[in-house]
Structure formats: C-alpha cells, structure tokens
Amino acid sequence: MVDLNAQYEKIGPEIDSAIKSILLSTAFIKGPDVKLFEEELQEYMGVKNVISCANGTDALQLAMRVLNLKPGDEVITTNFTFIATVEVVALLGLKLVIVDPEPGTYNISVAAVRKAITSRTRLIVPVHLFGQCADMESLMEIAKKHDIYVIEDAAQATGADYLFNNGTTKKAGTIGHIGTTSFFPSKNLGCYGDGGALYTNDDDLAKKLRSIANHGMKIRYHYDDIGINSRLDTIQAAILRVKLKYLSEFNKARIKVADKYDKAFSPCELICVPERVSYSSHIFHQYTIRVKSGKRDYLKKFLESRKIPSMVYYPGPIHMQKAYSYLGFNENDFPVTTSLCKEVLSLPMHPDMEQEQIDYIISNILEFFK
Ligand SMILES: Cc1ncc(COP(=O)(O)O)c(C=O)c1O
C-alpha cells in the first residue's frame, strides 16, 4: 500500500545525517530540532502555534482536555473514521454523538451534524478523511451559531488546502479552534515511529497545551495542571524536518496517481471513484473507491491473487464494535456508514509509484470487472 523503502532510497542520506546529529548531540528529549520542526511546520501550515506531542491520539486527547469539557458534554463526530477520534471522547467521559458521513466524500455530513445539535453539544470533531477536508465553512458557521468548539482531526490531511467562499485558503487543521495530526509512518508527513502535533491560533490554548503535554509543567517542577507525558522525540523531529521539505512534492505525486486511477475507473459502472469537492484539495492519503453490487470482497481476493495489496478502511462500523455497544445502536441506525463499510476499498497509494505499477493495478481491476 505504501513503499517507505522507495522513499528512503530517495532521501536516505539526509535522513541518516539528521539521525546521526541527534545521536552525537544526545539531546533525545526536547532537543533543538523539536522547536525547529515546530517553527518550520508553523510556517508551512500558516498557523501561529504548532505543539508537537507523542502521537495523533494524544493530540486529540490534549485538545479535548484543554477545552475544559465536563463529563456528559456532547461531542459530535463521524461514525466513519479511525477509532482514535471516538475513543478519546469516550475515555474522557464525554458523551459520544456519532453521525453518518456523506457517501461520496466519506466526510462528516453537515446535515447530520445540524440534526444532532442539542443544548448540551460542546464540540464538533470533523475528520478530514483520506486527505480531503470536510465542509469546514458550514461546520464553523454551525459552531459559531451555537457557541461550540471545533477540533479538526487532520491526521490524514497534512498539506490539504481548504478554499473559503471569499477565495482565501487555509491548511487543513488550521480552521477550527484546534487541529490535530499524526506522524504515523504511513501518513503523508510520517516519521519513523510515533509522533503527533496540535495546531492553534489561540496563544492561551497553545500555552496550556504545551504545559499539559509535559506533565502540567510551565516552570520546571512546578505543576499548574494535571498533565501527561506526550512529547515528540528529537530523533523523530529531525526526521520530520527533512520530510517536511518534500511534503508538497510528495502530495503532488499522490494526486497524479489519483488522476490516473480516476481516469481509468470513472467509466466503470460498478466503481465509484472518490468524490472531489470544490472547497478542498485532496492529497490522497488514501485512494478509496466504492465497489457496488457486493463485489468488493471478490475484487480484494482477486487482487491478492495478482499480488496487488488493497485495504478496507474501515471494515466494521464504530457503532457495531463491542467496545461501543454501550451506545445502544442497531446496524441500520447509520445506513451510510454501514454501506461504506461493505463497499470501500483503498488501493496502493504513495508518491513513489511507478507507471508500470499503476498500469498493472489498473489493468487487473478492469479485467476483474470485464
Ligand atoms: C483520522 C485519524 N485520527 C487519529 C489517528 C491517530 O494517530 P496516531 O496513530 O498517531 O495515534 C489516526 C491514525 O493513525 C487517524 O487516521
């Protein structure tokens, strides 16, 4: 699905020397590269504050904790996402309110959010799934009207641009009150282990986030908040500084692959290619098709037999997982999520795909449908 070896072949010498410099400096925790990476990412994202942390799940947890939400406060998010988005809500004792996504973009349905708002709603968490932004302008309008927070889970969309009605753009993750991301190795901007970050234009929130990510400490050994230990390792920051320089180029290469997939599969009746919206670029963390007429699992097996990997993100709806049975839902309560879980298939997607590989994948998929 992702070829990190091919990428390493390209940028290996730079990565090696970045790692070596940290080994020699021994500044493994909170070394200078962490701050430098935060500053460079701030500039790239066009946001006032980047706060690095240990992973994208912690970033979500820190973001929800800093907003002083109370147990039982309602948090609206999508039912079609990686589990981290919802697990943090549940862990913090907040009331999880899941809603269906849009069938074409897979992103949270604004109409469903509107319906789910109550007087107890305190937060909306849109996820920019697979690399394309949710309808942030509408969501921010709803949030403003009801005086509620928005945390963008931008783990899969580092580098995507959101286009506002007035023609201005912002990077995914920098529109809501707080944005979060993950540097999991397979992400568009991935490190060589775990890593994550938060974005915010609010300096007070940024200060508090920095403190709670580091044991609640602003001054050494003085604790203003009950915190956690969630720091980005200096080695990972040094790797990310190298990879950030290539992010735009890598994202463009992904879009080229997606264009070729789109062109090949659009005429095919039983395949729905991912919908692209006018208000967001798509940086294709995943290229995810929908396979109609119950043929998804047959296609997956056929591709396996041709040594072509494919993945189902996500196979089981969250509302049917054992851990979330306490929510008390039935399968049919979320028809869009349920049908997506049966139809979606993600194809190999990374910046180093060769034409020959793309052709092989396309011709095998078209052969299956013939
Ligand atoms: C949408 C989304 N949110 C949150 C996360 C959690 O990030 P991490 O694995 O770094 O904790 C991930 C991915 O891994 C993700 O895809």
Angle between helices 203-212 and 56-66 (to 10 degrees): 120
Q: Does an H or E element contain 291, and which? A: strand 287-291
Q: How far apart are CA 348 and CA 330, in angstroms?
A: 33
Which ligand 1 atom lies nearest to the CA of residue 58? 11
| pLDDT-based confidence at residue 92 (cuts at 50, 70, 90) | very high
The CA 293 to ligand 1 mean position distance, Å, reads 31
Q: DSSP H helical segments within the chain, as ranges?
A: 4-25, 32-45, 56-66, 84-91, 110-116, 136-146, 203-212, 234-265, 296-305, 335-343, 355-369
The CA 154 to ligand 1 mean position distance, Å, reads 9
Q: Is the CB of 77 under 6 A from ligand 1?
A: no
| pLDDT-based confidence at residue 85 (cuts at 50, 70, 90) | very high
Q: 183-217 pLDDT, tens per residue?
A: 999 999 999 999 999 999 999 999 999 999 999 99
Which SS3 state, helix, strand or coil, does residue 124 take?
A: strand
Q: 154-177 pLDDT, tens per residue?
A: 999 999 999 999 999 999 999 999
Q: How far apart are CA 273 and CA 287, in angstroms?
A: 8
How large is the average pLDDT for residues 114-134? 98
Q: What is the pLDDT of residue 11?
A: 97
Q: What is the pLDDT of residue 310?
A: 98
Q: How far apart are CA 90 and CA 308, in angstroms?
A: 37
The identity of residue 125, as a single letter, is: V
CB 213 within 8 A of CB 15: no
Q: What is the pLDDT of residue 359?
A: 98
Q: In a mutational test of the pocket of ligand 1, which residue from 156, 180, 187, 188 has the highest number of ligand atoms less than 8 Å from its CB? A: 156
Q: Is the CB of 180 under 6 A from ligand 1?
A: no
Res 218 pLDDT > 90: no
